Structure 1
Amino acid sequence: MVFPEFRPRRMRRTETFRAMIRETRLVPEQMIYPLFVLPGKGLRQEVASMPGVFRLSVDQLAKEAKDCLALGVRSVILFGLPEKKDGLGSGAYAKNGIIQQAIRELKHKVPEMTVVTDVCLCEYTDHGHCGCLAGHEVDNDATLELLAKTALSHAQAGADMVAPSDMMDGRVSEIRTALDENSFHMVPIMSYAVKYASAFYGPFRDAAECAPQFGDRRSYQMDPANSKEALREATLDVEEGADILMVKPALAYLDIISRLHDEFDLPVAAYQVSGEYAMIKAAAEKGWIDGERVMAESLIAIRRAGADIILTYFAKEMAKLLTEGK
């Protein structure tokens, strides 16, 4: 047998060689760690469907943030569970709402932590939808004002970046205008530009107690079958002033991440969502997979597809492996 002159295995033979030519790398600074915040004191409640993920009271946030920073994870995104819910989601934009309290706590005690906030109403409405209702339909245009009020209240509390996840048409423009008119020109918007109506969100809805009380969200979140529509959604958000474009979920939509990376010159974020996390954890617990390796491989895949930023519940766990040189 005559072998070719080039043998690819030569450069796979040792870890030093493999690391030397590795094309895609993960670093902790690229990851954003989601945190769920609930009322009360001294609370750390594990989410049953998301092992290792906790709902924390405000007084527990500083310790969690310091743990993240020690591992090199410099950013968190906050999701709130209010004491009360109503039809307009007023807890989302209340001056002393749960997220507003959480922002102030983190910026006071861990000022070096970058605090990103989810801007949506689903966690705060008694019907569980992402906007206010007109009958049984989400009223897109009436919701825009409430989303802008929410984003502005987060900025006033000290948020470093806001991330609208509602998928209402025109919300990026409305939020950008509200921030700029109130001298928050330097607060960026990380838009959930391409958010699919996915079945991978189940554990999150358990954690945030935000499942719709009727119907579903397919009238405003994207159809999983569509990719051209993703480009139209992202284009609109770019034109309206988004600073970062996000794709959610991640692993089932690597093609969409890649398309956005190729089509736009803005940074692309991807959200490795609760269902993706829970499946890996469950299979690892059963001994069916090597959890650490699958975690790392899945995150590398998201980066390789073109994501500059990854929102992931694995942020701390992956950062720990990276700091240990694994």
Structure 2
Amino acid sequence: MFPTDRMRRRRSNEMIRNMLTETRLHPNDLMLPLFFDESLDSIKYTDSMPGVPTYPLSKAAEVSERLYSAGINAVMLFGIPRRKDAEGSGAFAKNGVVQSAIRKIESTSDLLVAADLCMCEYTDHGHCGIVCEHGVDNDLTLIKYRKIAESLADAGAHMIAPSGMMDGQIMNIREALDDSGHKEVPIMAYSAKFCSGFYGPFRDIAHSAPSAYGRETYQMNPANGREAMTEMRRDIEEGADIIMVKPAMPYLDVIKQAKNELCIPIAAYQVSGEYAMIKAAAANGWLDERRTMMESLISIKRAGADILITYFAEEVLKELKK
């Protein structure tokens, strides 16, 4: 006890502080989201997501080679099709935007390619499934999810990441992958995906804001931590290999509880709104961008995340190399 035990002695110089650091970021922790738009001829930037490009398909090979050479080991792919329809048919097209991007990426690099499985980027109504008279029809949507999973795996995706929050989606996708000869392809489930206000900039990029009503009937109530644990346990029972909490920083308590109670790898998605807030505050001189970026990601890893899905991945790598 004080004055014998002086905690500040352990912080007295940089070498001691570095030696006693409990939580560290590593390049293997990081997964970078990538956007490809089938209708683009050149790279596009979106105001609400500064520094985050949307690529034309023609750039897929070049981008993957550059990222891999820079030290990025894993990416998560999202696609914006040239045309959208009520069935989200572009999501399972053999030559769809993500399927084509996967083939181009794998021809030039050894990046681990995870493919987001959802329909909101592909439907003209912006919802994550088949819309009927009373909202999104869960079981009709599962039929589409099976087709999407098979299509993405056939294209060469190393990991499938279902994000629609339909009941039974993991069981159905696991069956579809196994039946189509893709037993080795793991599922990273968006198990605790909350109905959050932090998704706005993503929807700007993907043109995927829902029409008519919101997504409260399938995404989780932000107030419900116990329900999140039930969702994660259920996905594990259905065959998930990795579970995810999304967003990340507003739900550190959920990540921590999952780490303590569930023996399975945990991913956390630092979503577009989390990224955009830091960027906007830094642009106004209110925050130190580098320090805040690193602190935010360390907090997510300290809570228990094994995989950090973040738009800051390239910038973090530069810091780690320093």
TM-score (norm 2): 0.98
- Rounded to whole Å, the distance in 1 between the matches of 2:284 and 2:21 is 31
State how far apart, in whole Å, the 2-side matches of 1:16 and 1:42 are. Answer: 50
- Paired letter, 1:137: G
Distance in 1 separating the partners of 2:24 and 2:70: 16
Say whether residues 1:271 and 2:242 are aligned partners: no
SS in 2 for 1:126: coil
Q: How do 1:34-49 and structure 2 match up within 5 A? A: 34-40=33-39, 42-49=41-48
Q: 1:116 aligns with which of 94, 105, 114?
A: 114
1:151 to 149, 152, 169: 149
Residue of structure 1 in register with 2:86 after alignment: 87
1:142 partner SS:
helix
Assess if the C-alpha contact under 8 Å between 2:34 and 2:76 holds in 1.
Answer: yes
**Matched AA of 1:130:** C
Q: Indicate the residue corresponding to 1:17 in structure 2.
A: 16
State whether residues 189 and 242 of structure 2, in contact with CA within 8 Å, keep that contact through their aligned partners in structure 1: yes
Quick one: which of 203, 206, 225 aligns to 2:204? 206
**Structure 2: gaps (5+ residues):** none
Task: Confirm or deny: 8 A CA contact 2:247 2:270 kept in the other structure.
Answer: yes
Aligned to 2:298: 300
Contact 1:29 1:72 in 2 (8 A): no
Q: Following the alignment from structure 2 to structure 1, what is the Cα–Cα distance between the partners of residues 62 and 140?
A: 38
Counterparts in 2 of 1:273 and 1:42: CA distance versus 1, 3 Å:
same
CA offset digits 1:237-276 (Å, max 9, x no partner): 0000000000000000000000111111110000000000
Residue 260 of structure 2: aligned partner: 262
Q: Which residue number corresponds to residue 167 of structure 1?
A: 165
Cα pair 1:191 1:237 within 8 Å, conserved:
yes
The DSSP-based 3-state class of the residue aligned with 2:267 is strand
| Identity %, equivalent residues | 52
Distance 1:260 1:71 in 2: 32
1:158-197 matches, within 5 Å, as: 158-197=156-195
**Could you tell me which residue of structure 2 aligns to residue 284 of structure 1?**
282
1:66 maps to which residue? 65
Shift of 1:136: 4.3
Find the aligned partners of 1:72 and 1:268 in 2 and give their Cα distance: 22
In the alignment, the residues of structure 2 paired with residue 82 and residue 289 of structure 1 have an alpha-carbon distance, to the nearest angstrom, of: 36
Q: Is the 8 A contact 1:93 1:149 kept in 2?
A: yes
Deviation, structure 1 residue 69:
2.0
Superposition deviation, residue 42 in structure 1: 4.4
**Would the aligned equivalents of 1:28 and 1:71 in 2 still touch at CA under 8 Å?**
no
Asked whether the 8 Å contact 2:39–2:81 carries over to 1, the reply is no
Q: CA deviation at 1:3?
A: 4.3
* Residue equivalent to 2:319: 321
Q: Tell me the distance in 1 between the aligned counterparts of 2:64 and 2:179.
A: 31
In structure 2, give the amino acid aligned to 1:216: G
Contact 2:128/2:164 (8 A) holds in 1 = yes
On the 8 A contact 2:76/2:114 being kept in 1, the answer is: yes
The answer (yes or no) to whether the contact 1:42–1:60 under 8 Å persists in 2 is no
Q: Deviations over 1:201-245 (max 9, x none)?
A: 000000111000110000000000000000110011000000000
Structure 2 Cα separation of the partners of residues 148 and 255 of structure 1: 32
CA contact (8 A) 1:148 1:178 kept: yes
1:152, distance to aligned residue in structure 2 (A):
0.9
Runs of 4+ in 1 over 3 A off after TM superposition: none
Q: Alpha-carbon deviation of 1:130? A: 0.2
User: C-alpha separation between the residues in 2 aligned to 1:60 and 1:170?
Assistant: 36
Alpha carbon RMSD of aligned pairs, Å? Answer: 1.1
Q: How many residues align?
A: 322
Q: 1:303 to 1:261 in 2, by over 3 A?
A: same
The Cα of 1:41 is off from its aligned counterpart by 5.9
1:8 aligns with 2:15: no
Aligned to 1:249: 247
Q: Which ranges of structure 1 fall in alignment gaps of 5 or more residues? A: none
Q: Aligned-pair distance for 1:148?
A: 1.2
SS in structure 2 of the partner of residue 191 of structure 1: strand
Q: Distance in 2 between matches of 1:83 and 1:136?
A: 28
- The offset of 1:64, in angstroms, is 2.4
Cα drift, residue 182 of structure 1: 1.3
User: What are the within-5 Å matches in structure 2 for residues 226-237 of structure 1?
Assistant: 226-237=224-235
